């Protein structure tokens, strides 16, 4: 097993040959453990209305420059039907966090309706933030079977630095939500942002051990991509103390993190995060070659997509899923082998 010290050294290493060997080792392990297929989750960004105010996120409630939207039930179902028709085995329903009963009830009914498409053919992943255990259970009973909730930063101090201290952003509550999801029976996915201000190689090594020890069957981690209208970016413009790695370094770090995680836990599902594509047009294929096995093609209508700016993603508004020679698991759920074993 790789030690914390070795992992930190690899994260700091700038030798192209050693980095390429790392990716090859992870790819080899993936092919031999879970096989060559990449599974798709059609991503439906249902709304950019959020009650939270994360200091890095473009759709945070405090951003008055963000034009808000919510898809109708019919639009969401149409997206899911498109995903089904395109042979995507699953959909991911993602959006800003809302906890009012009008919203949570609506999600329950939507999950039931998506389940009717193709007679239960589509796997459903939800990514709708922190909710009560009762709400998570209700959505699970309605037919959702996977949930994505990143810890964002596994170090409580770093978590505190990137979230406002307003009573709505608690590390402990996030951990509790993750535990609730697991005990209800969801395939629970988490992850972190890579290349954040105040984050160093030791923090990233700790993130990897956190993800392993929490035994998550799926992980989605991706680079931090600054958004102009967020407190972190605004403060960084006048505070020389707030720095973060260059585009190239964030890309390299993200790919290394994927490979290292694949080596630490070979049989989990690891997403090639969409944010990678904001850094490099081939970001996701690079991630697949570094050990990732999940891609989330965006199926949100283009008119709305331009307003779901978690980060600056001008580069990927015209998304072209160019996966080249990769073998795709069309029509398959592609559940985590790790979860099946537990």
Which residues bind to ligand SF4, rule: CB under 6 A?
Answer: 50, 52, 54, 57, 59-60, 96-97, 129, 310
DSSP annotation of 337 reads H
Closest residue by beta carbon to ligand SAH? 311
DSSP, collapsed to helix, strand or coil, labels residue 274 as coil
Residue 57 contacts ligand SAH per CB under 6 A? yes
User: Which neighbouring-strand residues pair with 45?
Assistant: 94
How many residues comprise the chain?
342
Q: Which residue, 45 or 335, has its beta carbon nearer to ligand SAH?
A: 45
Provide the angle, in degrees to the nearest 10, between the axes of the packed helices 133-142 and 101-116.
20
Is residue 219 a contact partner of residue 211, using CB atoms and an 8 Å limit? yes
For residue 147, give the nearest of 176, 191, 188 by alpha carbon: 188
Considering only 110, 286, 310, 328, the residue that binds ligand SAH (CB under 6 A) is 310
Q: Which two three-digit tokens encode residue 328?
A: 């795709």
Does 136 bind ligand SAH (CB under 6 A)? Our answer is: no
Binding mask of the shown chain, residues 9 to 48, with x at each position contacting ligand SAH by CB under 6 A: ----------------------------------------
Which of these segments, 7-15, 17-25, 148-156, 330-338, binds ligand SAH (CB under 6 A)? 148-156
- Return the range that interacts with ligand SAH (CB under 6 A); candidates 77-85, 220-228, 260-268, 280-288: 220-228
Question: For ligand SF4, which is the closer residue by CB, 309 or 336?
Answer: 309
> Across the beta sheet with 123-127, what order do the strands follow?
269-270, 218-219, 187-190, 146-148, 123-127, 90-95, 39-47, 294-295
CB of 125 to ligand SAH, least distance (A): 11
Based on CB atoms, which residue is closest to ligand SF4, 63 or 289? 63
Residue 127 binds ligand SAH (CB under 6 A): yes
Specify burial of residue 32 (Cβ count, 10 A radius: 0-12, 13-18, 19+).
exposed
Provide CB contacts within 8 A for 339, sequence distance 6+. 187, 217, 218
With respect to ligand SF4, which residue has the nearer C-beta, 61 or 108? 61
Residues engaged in binding ligand SAH (CB under 6 A): 50, 56-57, 94, 96-97, 127, 129, 149-150, 152, 193, 222, 224-225, 227, 275, 310-311
């Amino acid at each position: 097993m790789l030690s914390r010290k070795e992992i930190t050294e690899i994260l700091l290493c700038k030798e192209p040959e050693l980095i390429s060997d790392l990716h090859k080792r992870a790819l080899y392990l993936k092919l031999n453990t879970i096989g060559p297929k990449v599974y798709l989750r059609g991503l439906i960004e249902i709304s950019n209305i959020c009650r939270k105010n994360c200091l890095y996120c473009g759709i945070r409630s405090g951003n008055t420059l963000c034009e808000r939207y919510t898809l109708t039930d019919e639009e969401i179902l149409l997206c899911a039907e498109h995903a089904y028709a395109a042979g995507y085995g699953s959909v991911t329903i993602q959006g800003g966090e809302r906890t009012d009963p009008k919203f949570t009830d609506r999600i329950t009914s939507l999950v039931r309706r998506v389940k009717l498409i193709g007679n239960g053919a589509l796997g459903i992943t939800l990514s709708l933030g922190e909710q009560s255990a009762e709400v998570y259970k209700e959505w699970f009973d309605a037919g959702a079977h996977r949930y994505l909730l990143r810890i964002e930063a596994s170090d409580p101090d770093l978590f505190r630095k990137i979230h406002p201290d307003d009573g709505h952003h608690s590390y402990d509550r996030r951990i509790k939500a993750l535990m609730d999801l697991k005990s209800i029976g969801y395939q629970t996915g988490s992850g972190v942002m890579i290349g954040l201000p105040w984050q160093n190689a030791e923090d990233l090594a700790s993130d990897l051990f956190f993800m392993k020890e929490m035994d998550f069957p799926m992980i989605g981690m991706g680079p931090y991509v600054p958004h102009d209208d967020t407190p972190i970016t605004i403060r960084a413009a006048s505070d020389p103390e707030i720095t973060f790695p260059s585009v190239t370094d964030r890309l390299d770090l993200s790919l290394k993190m994927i490979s290292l995680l694949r080596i630490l836990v070979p049989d989990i599902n690891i997403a090639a995060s969409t944010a990678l594509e904001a850094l490099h047009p081939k970001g996701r294929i690079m991630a697949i070659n570094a050990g990732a096995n999940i891609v989330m093609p965006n199926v949100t209508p283009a008119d709305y997509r331009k307003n779901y700016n978690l980060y600056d993603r001008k580069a990927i508004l015209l998304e072209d899923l160019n996966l080249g020679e990769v073998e795709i698991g069309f029509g398959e759920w592609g559940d985590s082998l790790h979860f099946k074993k537990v």
